[in-house]
């Protein structure tokens, strides 16, 4: 992997322990590369634990990469945050632990990388001998630097440069805003290089020095070690962690543009020539032109005859005078009306007038025909929602944020569902104080909850589902259950996956394990 992926971590010169960890992994048969740096916060009894927990969750969640990589990264970070927060509640010695992280997933086939970032670890893109900072430090000093209010050198010397605003494990998921993580996607072209690093490097080595090392014609491993060496030579005040990932495909250089005249050179000898000589073709062309002229002349004569015939019939309908005879050469005959046919024509005219008169009489004396009424359909009556069910549906529909809090006092009896509760939000937390029981109404065979395909993260907390054929239907790995009880449910949870038609699918459904216990886990 040293030719396209390399990671290294070093405790530095002043720290005894190393709270940093990194990810430099290939997954799904090397189609994707994962490059990440996680920097623990909270000392020996905290930072290392938070960083290790986060790394384990990320590796587990990213073992199989899906279509929406950014959403998958967000879910993985939410889960890591929950793991850290739960661990803090179990062990009071770890109450101050947290971690910052920057993770990039590189799609080698599509020449793309996707990333997620929280805290003050950094992501850089090195392209055409230029180093561009992609992530933004979520810290007061980082904001001042990114906004141009202070220089990079001033930020590196600032006394509060290690203060951070956001990290994994600082609070529960409910306390995170939608913009808690910075994420995005970018092209990753042949020859591009990604640098993910902790602040142990960037607090001591400036952008120009990093660029100079990345410009060296050496392997990724040598570049990584030289960056660590530069940080240690500058004092090594913190842990130093670096991951480098390179698009090692050969760069495609545009070829020279051929002159316009040369573009047709290969076809010069292949120009098709006429099979006959010009002297042979000329008479044929003259004959065709002569024939066309003669045909045009005869068409004009025919049109003239037709016009005269029409004029004769209209102006002299009962006269035995013969119309003009067509010009010679035109294959057309005009019948002359004779005296003997005059009576027949008069009789036919009278019959036509009688037919028209009778039609008019019927139209004005009889009402228009009416189509038979089709009658009215008998719609199937829609069963009205019971009061508790309607209250739950209305409360969810009117929800402004992403957290729905329910209490047992809101419902005098268990909520009997006659239709599924459809969840279409990308993020939703349903929390209860006390047991809120949802029961399947008689005859209802659907699930209690149905999650839409666009959902990204849904948490059900402290609910009780009873007598459902299927408790919850979810798409992919978006559902988090916390102390949910399933009573008499044939299938408590059904997880659906979608794949392109006729595609070859590789992977396994493991992800995060669910644990069944008789006691609630707080």
What is residue 453's predicted lDDT score, i.e. its pLDDT?
Answer: 86
Contact 176, 167 (CB under 8 A): no
More confident site: 342 or 498: 498
Q: How far apart are CA 156 and CA 176, in angstroms?
A: 28
Of residues 385 and 101, which shows the higher confidence score? 101
Give the Å distances, CA to CA, from 494 to 50, 148, 423, 458, 491.
Answer: 31, 51, 15, 14, 7
Q: 116-130, 331-345, 376-390, 396-410 — which is least confidently predicted?
A: 331-345
The pTM score is: 0.56
Instruction: Looking at mean pLDDT, say which of 96-100, 308-312, 385-389 comes out highest.
Output: 96-100
Q: Hey, what domains does the chain have and what are their CATH numbers?
A: 5-246 (3.60.40.10), 387-496 (no CATH)
pLDDT tens column, 393-421: 888 888 888 888 888 788 767 899 999 99
Residue 264: pLDDT over 90: no
Query: What local confidence, expressed as pLDDT, does residue 372 receive?
Result: 42
Per-residue model confidence (pLDDT) at position 253: 54
Angle at 368 between CA 365 and CA 371, to 5 degrees: 150
Whether residue 257 is predicted with pLDDT greater than 50 in this model: the reply is no
Q: Pick the range with the lowest mean pLDDT from 62-71, 410-419, 458-467.
A: 410-419
pLDDT score of 153: 83
Mean pLDDT along residues 253-261: 46
Position 337 scores a pLDDT of: 39
pLDDT digits 0-9 by tens, 83-102: 998 888 888 889 889 999 99
Q: Residues 306-330: what's their mean pLDDT? A: 49
CA geometry: angle 423, 427, 433, nearest 5 deg: 80
Statement: residue 302 has pLDDT above 70: no
How large is the average pLDDT for residues 253-273?
A: 43
Residues 6+ apart with CB under 8 A from 378: none
Mean pLDDT of all residues belonging to the chain: 79
- Which H/E stretch holds residue 522? none
Whether residue 332 is predicted with pLDDT greater than 70 in this model: the reply is no
Confidence at residue 408, expressed as pLDDT on a 0 to 100 scale: 78
Provide, rounded to the nearest whole percent, the portion of the chain with pLDDT above 70: 70
pLDDT value for 43? 67
C-alpha angle 482-484-486 in degrees, rounded to nearest 5: 155
User: Which of 146-155, 228-237, 442-451 shows the lowest mean pLDDT across its residues?
Assistant: 146-155
Distance CA 372, CA 390 (A): 42
Instruction: Please tell me the distance from the alpha carbon of residue 127 to that of residue 214, in angstroms, as a whole number.
Output: 10
Average pLDDT over residues 161-190: 87
Distance CA(168)–CA(180), nearest Å, equals 10
User: Using CA atoms in the order 153, 156, 161, 164, what is the torsion angle rounded to 10 degrees?
Assistant: 90
């Amino acid at each position: 992997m040293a030719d396209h992926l390399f990671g290294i971590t070093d405790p530095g010169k002043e720290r005894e322990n190393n709270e940093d960890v990194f990810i430099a992994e290939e997954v799904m048969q090397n189609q994707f590369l994962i490059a990440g740096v996680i920097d623990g916060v909270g000392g020996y009894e905290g930072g290392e634990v938070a960083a290790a927990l986060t790394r384990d969750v990320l590796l587990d969640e990213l073992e199989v990469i899906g279509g929406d990589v950014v959403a998958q990264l967000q879910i993985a970070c939410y889960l890591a945050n929950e793991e850290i927060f739960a661990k803090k509640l179990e062990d009071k010695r770890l109450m101050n632990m947290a971690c910052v992280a920057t993770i990039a997933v590189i799609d080698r086939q599509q020449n793309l990388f996707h990333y997620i970032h929280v805290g003050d670890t950094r992501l850089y893109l090195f392209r055409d001998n230029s180093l561009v900072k992609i992530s933004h430090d979520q810290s007061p000093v980082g904001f001042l630097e990114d906004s141009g209010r202070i220089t990079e050198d001033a930020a590196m010397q600032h006394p509060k440069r290690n203060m951070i605003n956001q990290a994994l494990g600082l609070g529960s998921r409910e306390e995170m805003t939608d913009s808690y993580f910075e994420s995005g996607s970018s092209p990753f072209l042949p020859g591009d290089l990604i640098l993910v690093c902790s602040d142990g490097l960037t607090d001591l080595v400036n952008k120009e020095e990093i660029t100079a090392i990345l410009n060296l014609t050496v392997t990724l491993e040598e570049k990584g070690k030289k960056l660590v060496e530069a940080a240690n030579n500058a004092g090594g005040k913190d842990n130093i962690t670096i991951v480098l990932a390179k698009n090692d495909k050969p760069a495609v250089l545009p070829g020279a543009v051929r002159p316009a005249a040369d573009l047709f050179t290969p076809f010069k000898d292949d120009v098709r020539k006429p099979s006959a000589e010009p002297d042979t073709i000329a008479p044929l062309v003259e004959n065709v032109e002569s024939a066309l002229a003669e045909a045009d002349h005869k068409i004009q004569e025919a049109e003239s005859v037709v016009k005269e015939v029409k004029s004769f019939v209209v102006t002299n309908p009962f006269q035995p005078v013969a119309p003009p005879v067509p010009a010679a050469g035109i294959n057309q005959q005009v019948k002359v009306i004779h005296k003997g046919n005059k009576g027949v024509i008069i009789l036919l005219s009278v019959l036509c007038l009688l037919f028209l008169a009778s039609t008019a009489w019927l139209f004005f004396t009889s009402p228009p025909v009416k189509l038979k009424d089709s009658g009215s359909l008998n719609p199937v009556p829609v069963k009205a929602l019971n009061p508790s069910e309607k209250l739950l549906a209305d409360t969810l529909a009117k929800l402004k944020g992403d957290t729905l809090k329910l209490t047992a006092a809101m419902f005098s009896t268990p909520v009997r569902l006659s239709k599924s509760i459809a969840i279409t939000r990308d993020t939703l937390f349903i929390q209860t104080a006390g047991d809120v029981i949802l029961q399947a109404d008689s005859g209802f065979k659907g699930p209690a909850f149905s999650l839409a395909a666009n959902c990204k993260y849904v948490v059900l907390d402290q609910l009780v589902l009873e007598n459902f054929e299927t408790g919850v239907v979810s798409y992919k790995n978006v559902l988090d259950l916390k102390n949910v009880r399933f009573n008499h449910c044939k299938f408590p949870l059904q997880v659906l996956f979608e794949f392109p038609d006729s595609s070859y699918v590789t992977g396994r459904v493991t992800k995060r394990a669910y644990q069944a216990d008789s006691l609630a886990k707080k």
